[in-house]
Amino acid sequence: MTSIEAVSSYLPPTVSVEQLREPLGLTDQQVRRFTRLYGLDRICQAPDQSEAELLATAAGKLDALAGQEDRIRYVVRAKGLRTTAPYPVSPLRTVCESLGLRRAKVFSVADHGCATGLLAVDAAGTLLAADGDPDALALVLAGDKTLTPFSQWVEDVSIMGEGVTAVLVGAGGDRNRVLGYHARIHGREDGVIDLDAEGAREAKRIYQDAMAEVIDGALAAAGLAVGDLDLVLPHNVNRVSWTVAANALGIDRDRIFLENIGRTGHCFCADPFINYQSALELGLLRPGDTYLMTSAGLGQSFAAMVVRH
């Protein structure tokens, strides 16, 4: 059974949404919507750090990795953005070399938008289980560098941050056991991410039902119901979407961890893991608690994972 052995995060310094008004070309109305309605306030940005430096910093804070480098069988880069560096530059290879991960097979997963992080954990656990080595581990690196205006915000949805996480994954163990995972893509058959007005309307139309579908699927795989959840660790897209989702799913809003929306911005597929570490530090998770991680990405990708702490 896949387990999340440890999580570390790196949250760069922040800027205010107001400071991003000119760089992003935001109108007064958009600033008010993002801050007053959506709950965004500070956005993680690291203009002087490369993608490799961001990821290496997060992995360097993973205490459980120290001395265990030779146990890492796979390093999986979870990318919310398909392309993050020009060929032949490989930030992931640079990070692996700096960490001394000599025995690991290295690859990336993408094209699931911000749902890619949960996909990467599931893929890592599946590969480790197939290997049959109980001591083998995988390292998942999640989060993205916002290199262009296209990647810095999604109109009328959220503003992207550059927080990143490192997740140590095992194939067994008693810590943070994955009880159920479910994912679904509702995008176009040709794989094109359609961001025109019609595509945006369609994404909004199906969002709540699609999110409910993957949450129900993950709970069913775990043999649990919504009432069994002690905490929900969502993607930090905005406060409004989770207010609506809480009502639709019958989840008490107090059980949905939304504190980081105003502190970090939407950090691509790193959000659920950033929220996990914050919840742990705040004492919101006790041994035996069951929590839900969720994500949704451009291209209408949705994922949910149920975990026993």
* Domains in the chain with CATH codes: 3-170 (3.40.47.10), 177-308 (3.40.47.10)
Identify whether the C-beta of residue 287 lies closer than 8 Å to the C-beta of residue 263: no
**Among 99, 51, 44, residue whose Cα is nearest residue 78:** 51
- Phi/psi for 167 (5° steps) reads -125, 125
For residue 155, the model assigns a pLDDT of: 81
Structure tokens at 42: 């500070």
- Specify the residue for token string 């139309």: 205
Residue 245 pLDDT: 85
Residue with the two structure tokens 């949704």? 296
Scan for tokens 């120290």, then name that residue: 66
Cβ–Cβ contacts within 10 Å for residue 11, how many? 24
How many beta carbons lie within 10 A of that of residue 70, not counting itself? 13
**CA distance linking residue 112 with residue 185, whole number of Å:** 8
- 3-state class (DSSP) for residue 274: helix
pLDDT of residue 32: 94
Q: Give the CA distances from residue 47 to residues 12, 121, 295, in Å, rounded to whole numbers and listed in that order.
A: 9, 28, 26
Burial of residue 132, with CB atoms counted within 10 A of its CB: 0-12 exposed, 13-18 middle, 19 or more buried: exposed
What is the chain's pLDDT, residue by residue, as a tens digit (309 residues)?
A: 899 999 999 999 999 999 999 999 999 999 999 999 999 999 999 999 999 999 999 999 999 999 999 999 999 999 988 877 778 888 999 999 999 998 899 999 988 889 999 999 999 999 999 998 999 999 999 999 988 777 888 887 899 999 999 999 999 877 899 999 999 988 665 555 555 556 667 767 788 889 999 999 999 999 999 999 999 999 998 998 888 888 888 888 889 999 999 999 999 999 999 999 999 999 999 999 999 999 998 778 899 999 999
CB 292 within 8 A of CB 253: no
Neighbours of 301 (CB within 10 A): 25
